[in-house]
Structure 1
Amino acid sequence: MTPADLSRCVVSAVRRAVEDGELAGAVPARVVVERTRPGGVGEYATPVAFQIAKGAGVRPAEVAEVLARRLGRVAGIERVEVTGAGFLNFSLSALSAARLVRDVRRVTVIDVPEAPPSRELRERLVRAAVARIEAAQGVGPGPDSSVAPVARRDGDVLARYGADAVAWAALTTPARETPEFGDALLVQGEGNELFRVRYAHDRAHALVRNAEQLGFRPEAGDDVDAPALLRVLADHPLVLEAAAHHRAPERLARHLVELADALLDFQYRVLPRGDEKPSAAHRARLALAEAAGTVLAGGLALLGIDAPTRL
C-alpha cells in the first residue's frame, strides 16, 4: 500500500461506517494524510476524526476508534493507533518499488492556466503556483490569503537573480513571510537548493542516457534497496494534496529538495561498475531513478520553474 492508497482507504472507511450507522455526518471527498512529525507515532497521521466529529456531535476519539477498527483490517496497513484527542496514526507494509514506478509513469501532465496577474511580483508567483497545484489535484480555487511582498531593500530581484531563482526564493517561504534573497541563489553548488533539485533531475536523465550506451533500459521491479528514496517518492501525492489543501507551495518545494537529496545519494548504485553486467536489479534501480526525475520535473513545473535535462 502506498500513502496515496491510505488516503483513499480512510475515505472508504468513513463511507462504510456512515452507511453502517456507526458514524453520522457527511463523508469527505478527500482526507489529508501527512507524514508523522518527528517524535510522533507511526509513519502517517490524519486528523479526519475531528472533521467527522464536528458534524456528528461526538468526541473525535470515538470517531477515531471506529475508523481504527475498520482500517486495522485493511491489507497493507500494519498498525493503526489513536493518539491525543483523536488523531489516527498508521504504519504501512513495505513499499513496492515497481508499483511506485508504474504509478509515476501513469501520471499525465496537464496544462494549467496562469493565475490572473497582480501588481506585485511575489503575489503573482505564489498565486500562480497555488493555482497550478490546485488544478493538478482537481480542486477548485480556494480563498485568497495575504502574500508578503518582496522587500523594497531587495530592489529589482529579477534583474539580479533571474526568474527561476526569484520564483524559488518566493515559493520556499510561507506566503505571509517576506522572502530573503542572497548571493547563494547564484551559486551552482550544493548550498543552493534549487541547483540541487535541478542537478538531481539532470542526473536522472544522465543515468538513462548512460544506461542506453551500456545496452539496457529502465524496467520497473522490486529488487531495489533504496528505503529513503522510496519513502520520499511515495509521499509525493500526499505532499501535493497538502500543498493544495493549505495553499502552501513551500510544502512542495521542501519535498522536492528532500527527493533530490535522496536521488543524489542513490545515483551511485544505479549503473553497473567495472566488468559487472547489467541485471534486473540495475534495470529496476534505473526505473526508480527515472521516476524520481519525472517527479522532480513535474514538481518544478507546478512551481513555474524550468527543469533542464543538461546543466
Structure 2
Amino acid sequence: MPIILGPNRYGKAETRLVRVTRDGATHHLKDLNVSTSLSGAMEPVHLTGDNSAVLPTDTQKNTVYAFARKHGVDQIEDFALLLARHFVGSQPTIHHARVEIEEYAWNRLPVTRHSFVRDAGEVRTCVVHHDRDGRTTVVSGLTDLVVLNTTGSEFHGFVVDEYTTLAPATDRVLATAVTARWRHTGETPSHASSYARVRQSLLEAFAGTYSLSLQQTLYAMGERALQTCEEICEVRLTLPNRHHFLVDLTPFGLDNDGEVYHAADRPYGLIEGAVLRQDAPDAAFAWE
C-alpha cells in the first residue's frame, strides 16, 4: 500500500509583541500574541530533508516585529492580513498563510499618559487565511467574555433515564464564559466598529433572552449578531455552562430562597454551535 504526505503546515507559534505608540507625552499600547503558519511546496523537506523551500520560523518571528515597526499595529485583523499577504506574495514556495492573533487589553490609568493596568477579562482574537489563488477569509472573535443572569432561565422537560438525578429548574442562575468567532463576508470597512457591534449584539441577546436552555440562548446570540452586522455571515459559539447550585442551609436552621450558591468549576456542560446565513459561502478552512 503506497504511503503519501498529507496536509501539513509549519510556522512560529505565540510570538509575543508589545507595540508602544508615542504620541508626544501620550502613549498607546498594543499587546499581541501572534502565530503564523505556512504551507505550500513542502514535499522535499518532509521526504528528503531538503530545506530549500522553507522560510525559517525565526524569519517569520522577525517579520512580525519588523512589520510592527514599519507599519504600526491598529486593528489585529488588518495586521494579520498584512502578514499573510506578505508571506504568500514574497515566497514562491508558500501557497497559503494562516495568521492567528490574540490581543490583550490594557487600560490607561486615570490622570496619566503612560501608565496602564492590564484588563484581566476577555481576549480579542482573529484568524486570517490567505492563499495564492486570491482566497482570503477573516474570522474575528473573543474569548472569556464572562456573563451571568441571576434569573430568567429555566431547564426542564429533558430526557430522564435510570441515571438521571438532576431536578427540573424553573428559576436558575445562568452563567457562561463566551468564546465567539464570526466570519466576515468580504472586506470590512472598520474592524473596530464591527467588533464592537458584534460584541454588543451578543451581550444584548444574552441579557434579553428568557432562556429555557443554553442552546436557545446560543442561537439567539448568533441570530442577533447576524441581524445587526451585515458584514458577517457566520457565528460560532462555545458556551461552557458555569453551574451555580443552591447551598442546602437546612442543617443550620436557615432557608435559602435563591440567595446563596456554590459556583462549581467542573465538571461543566459545554454547549457549542454555529449560526449562519442560509446563503453563506462555504469556507471550511477558515475555522482551521
TM-score (norm 2): 0.25
TM-score (norm 1): 0.23
Q: Relative contact order, CA 8 A, sep 6+: which one is greater?
A: 1
Structure having the larger proportion of residues in strand: 2
Larger-Rg structure: 2
Structure having the larger proportion of residues in helix: 1
